[in-house]
Structure 1
Amino acid sequence: MFSANGRSIGARTGVFGSLCVLVFLVNFARVVYAPLLEPFRAAFGVSEAAVGLLATLVWIGSAAPRFPTGYLLTRYPRHRIVLGSGLVLAGASAIAAAAPSFATLAAATVLVGVGSGVYFVAASPLIGQLYPGQVGRAIGIHGTASQVAAVVAPGFVGVALAVRFWPFAAWRGIFVLLSLAALGSAILFWLAARRSTITGPQELDLDMRVALVAHWRLILSGIAVVGLAGLVWNGVFNFYVTYLIEAKGLSSGNARTALTVVFAAGVPAFWAAGVLADRLRFVPLMLAILAVFVGSMLSLVAVQSFVPVLLVSAILGFVIHSLFPATDTYILASLPDEHSGSGYAVFSGAMMPIQAIGSVVVGVLVDSGLSYDAVFTALSLGVAVLTAGLFGLALLGRVPSGTNV
């Protein structure tokens, strides 16, 4: 793929480095909405329900283009799709910064999500192309850069809102900076990509249907591993602060601290899981992560005081964030290069909607009269049953082991 000379190694490093910057910005754009909901409400005079919709729209936008991006990958090289996603993010952020109305801001929010969805589907197989022998390590580093954004976004927003040098509303300034950073990073990525062999002749993913027919067992296994666990996690972290206040009696400050610990624990988790995915067999690793996730969830229900909650939060955050790079590596390292883009798009496009409804599922169950503890326990037991089923199928040889054996 790349020759061993310094120029080729430098070009590959440049491409990967620019991807890590882009993924930081892409994920920052998705998570920055939560701490900005109150400034949005004050700026446009809308209800809490209306601004709450923004946080949902960005994730809907992220899920929507997964299958269409898979189709684009059958027509255009991966690096061009990644460039397009960066330009979409830059343009959407500029529209958000200048939004004259809440409706315009909502439309820009969907576009921000679309840019992120396109990015992840195109960039993940591109990383596999860059580092075919170290997919897990590369995916882990890339995921670490993404997770750092989730950790720093609330603090950055707090500082930006406190600083008074903006010639316009501070939240608009944040989107101006995001737009400029996304544009600059996209340009740097393009320049780096043109110096590398990824812009040379390459086989495109010719047909999503062919990829699905050829690798449906692998794709379905990946969806089974990460789908239900991701649904549970989506519901848990969206209600984490409320849950800790209502069920554990923590103060709002302590509850927010615990949520910060959950996300901070994900930073080393991405790197560690990526390294392990390169060295251990995929299926046992993923099932072990699922088992520890179930144990962590049940421990969260059992503990009561602040310090135990913090300890469980750290373990829970580390474990669930380990699952994502492990599963991505399982899919990407196991798919042949000619199917990696479209095959990953099918996996991602089917997995994301399942995860996205987690908060709705939890909210509906709680509104029906069930306690958070009862809901989290039931969902955790569901993951336990699924894990046991996958373990049995793996013993029978019905779960594809992938190439890391």
Structure 2
Amino acid sequence: MDIRRVGEYDVLALTALIWFLGKFVRYAFPPLFEPLQAGYGVSNAAVGAAFSGFMTVYALMQFPSGAVADRVGAVRVITAGAGVAAVGSLAILFDAPFLALAGAMLVIGAGTGAHKTVAVRLLSRMYPVRTGRALGVHDTLGAFGGVVAPAAVVLFVSPLPGLAALLSGLPGSDWRGLFAVTGAVGLALAAAFVARVPGRLSAGADGGRKRDDPGPSARDYLALFEDRRLAAFVLVTVAFSFAYNGTVAFLPLYLSEAAGLATTTANLLYSALFAATFVQLFSGDLSDRLGRFPVMVAALGLAAAALVGAIALADSGALALGAVVVALGLGSHGFRPVRGAYLVEALPERLAGGGLGVVRTLLMGAGAFAPAVVGAVADVAGFRPAFALLAGSMAAAALAAGGLWLTT
């Protein structure tokens, strides 16, 4: 093995590890809801509101983090974000009232929210020929944080005797030890990132502006949407985000209530949706070779067909629905790194960070809106009409992407 070739990917490795830790912390909170309710004596609404605050701050950080990176460079923003998230994690160690915990969650949301938009731009500049592959690795490792987090929560909530003795010196419950680990690892990664990455970047890869450059204005970012092709692609991403997030929120209930599967079987199939995340390693690389739109159209078409299949095969049993869920995961996850690679290529270099931030804010807003819409439709008309709406949104994204491909 050529060690020098392996060394080319140290920037990718450090950036992806920070993203893994950010997703790990995010997905560690929902499994902790029950211990938090018991420990603090709060309601479902209280822990739900705290997590909503976390996600709202995360979403709101997309544009400002990208815009700041356009001015001061990606390395500073990613390092600062990792450091802020680590400090928020360490703050949870203190046995303070629930309101203080909620405040620490907001800090973590701000820190983790500063990463993804800026990381996409940094990796696209660092690996211009292999952007799709780099983003596929980055997003896959991040998604794996969501796979590991629930198991880690179980380990700290009900620790083995040796670990319990080690955690006994912490204030409050043993689960706080999880945030001691994430905080310490976050600070270590931030230090390694700022020490290693600047020296590995080629000229201009970090971005940032010269001293006499006032930088882009808000009008400059809004003017991006005067490009009809870019605006059309943003609609593709918004339609996809609505369909995907609405599906993720209600797929377990759909499988158990509309399809009649046992709860344990529904949850097992739900996990298969995320297990398919490894397709990102291949879809990003394939788009580097074949082009962005062929891969995006295929991925979106597969996801749309899978949602239609979920409705048509709802009474066909676990095996058929399992195949549908895997197909949905392959299509949905396969689209994501290619979307990021296309956006950084389509946006002007000077506006790449903030422009990507604007787009991510829009698509995350659509994703946040989707569960409320799906829930309302399901209450009124049932889950099948609700999933038909999601299938229509995914199909619209596939058709719009196909139109952009044909008119290239």
Give the TM-score of the pair, scaled to structure 2. 0.88
Instruction: Report the Cα offset of residue 328 of structure 1.
Output: 0.4
Match of 1:289 in 2: 299
Question: Hey, what's the Cα distance between the residues in 1 that align with 2:372 and 2:94?
Answer: 31
* CA distance in structure 2 between the aligned counterparts of 1:48 and 1:201, rounded to whole angstroms: 45
Pairwise mapping of residues 2-401 of structure 1 onto structure 2 (< 5 A)? 12-98=8-94, 100-164=96-160, 165=164, 166-167=167-168, 168=170, 169-197=173-201, 203-204=207-208, 206-207=215-216, 209-214=219-224, 216-266=227-277, 268-303=278-313, 304=315, 305-367=317-379, 369-392=380-403, 394-395=405-406, 397=407, 401=408
- Following TM superposition, by how much is the alpha carbon of 1:218 offset from its aligned partner in structure 2, in angstroms? 4.9
Rounded Cα–Cα distance in structure 1 between residues aligned with 2:145 and 2:232: 29
Report the alpha carbon displacement of residue 125 of structure 1 after superposing the two structures with TM: 0.4
Instruction: Note the C-alpha offset of 1:390.
Output: 4.6
CA distance in 2, matches of 1:32, 1:42: 17
User: How far 1:11 sits from its partner (Å)?
Assistant: 6.2
Could you tell me how far apart the structure 2 residues matched to 1:39 and 1:152 are? 18
Please give the secondary structure, in 2, of the residue aligned with 1:195.
Answer: helix
SS in structure 2 at match of 1:250: coil
1: CA distance, partners of 2:122 / 2:300? 27
CA distance 1:265–1:114, shift in 2 (3 Å): same
* 1:287 Cα deviation after fit: 2.2
Q: In the superposition, relative to structure 1, how do residues 227 and 179 fare at CA in structure 2: closer, same or farther (>3 Å)?
A: same
Q: TM-score, normalised by structure 1?
A: 0.89
**CA deviation after TM superposition for structure 1 residue 228, in Å:** 1.5
Q: Secondary structure at the match of 1:343?
A: helix
Give deviations 1:273-322, integer Å, cap 9, x for gaps: 11112112222322222221111011112333222222211111121111
How far 1:99 moved relative to its partner? 5.2
Segments ≥4 residues shifted beyond 6 Å: 199-202
Question: Residue 212 of structure 2 corresponds to which residue in structure 1?
Answer: none
Moved more, 181-190 or 344-353: 344-353
CA–CA separation in structure 2 for the residues paired with 1:202 and 1:81: 10
SS of equivalent residue, structure 1 residue 354: helix
Q: Secondary structure at the match of 2:72?
A: coil
Cα deviation per residue 1:29-49 (whole Å; 9 max; x = unaligned)? 111112111111111111112
**Which sits farther off after the overlay, 330-339 or 129-138?**
330-339
Q: Secondary structure at the match of 2:266?
A: helix
Q: Structure 2: how far apart are the matches of 1:163 and 1:32?
A: 16
CA distance 1:203–1:357, change in 2 (3 Å) = same
Contact 2:124 2:344 in 1 (8 A): yes
User: Aligned letter for 1:226?
Assistant: T
Give the gaps of 5 or more residues in structure 1: none
The farther-off stretch of 218-227 and 150-159 is: 218-227
C-alpha contact (below 8 Å) 2:245/2:367 kept by paired residues = yes
- Relative to structure 2, which stretch is displaced further, 88-97 or 22-31? 88-97
TM-superposed CA distance for 1:383, in Å, is 3.0
The one-letter code of the counterpart of 2:298 is A
Shift of 1:141: 0.7
Change over 3 Å in CA distance of 1:202–1:144 after alignment to 2 = closer
Residue 204 of structure 1 deviates from its aligned partner by 2.5
CA contact (8 A) 1:226 1:323 kept: no
Alignment partners' CA distance in 1, 2:206 and 2:396: 43
Task: Please report how far the alpha carbon of residue 335 of structure 1 lies from its aligned counterpart in structure 2 after TM superposition.
Answer: 3.2
Task: Determine if contact 2:232/2:400 at 8 Å carries over to the other structure.
Answer: no
| Structure 1 stretch displaced more, 207-216 or 325-334 | 207-216
Is there any run of 5+ residues in structure 2 with no aligned partner, and where?
Answer: 210-214
- For residues 269 and 294 of structure 1, the distance between their equivalents in structure 2, rounded to whole angstroms, comes to 17
Could you tell which deviates more after superposition, 352-361 or 132-141?
A: 352-361
- Distance between the aligned counterparts of 1:120 and 1:341, measured in 2? 10
Instruction: Quickly say closer, same or farther: Cα 1:146–1:259, change in 2 above 3 A.
Output: same
Q: In structure 2, how many angstroms separate the alpha carbons of the residues matched to 1:145 and 1:340?
A: 23
Tell me how many residue pairs correspond in the alignment: 390
Paired residues of 2:126 and 2:201 also in contact (CA < 8 A): no
Q: 1:244 to 1:200 in 2, by over 3 A?
A: closer
Instruction: Among all aligned residue pairs of Structure 1 and Structure 2, give the percentage whose two residues are the same amino acid.
Output: 27
The CA deviation at 1:382 is 3.3
* Structure-2 separation of matches of 1:201 and 1:190: 14
Distance 1:242 1:202, change over 3 A: closer
Moved more, 299-308 or 114-123: 299-308
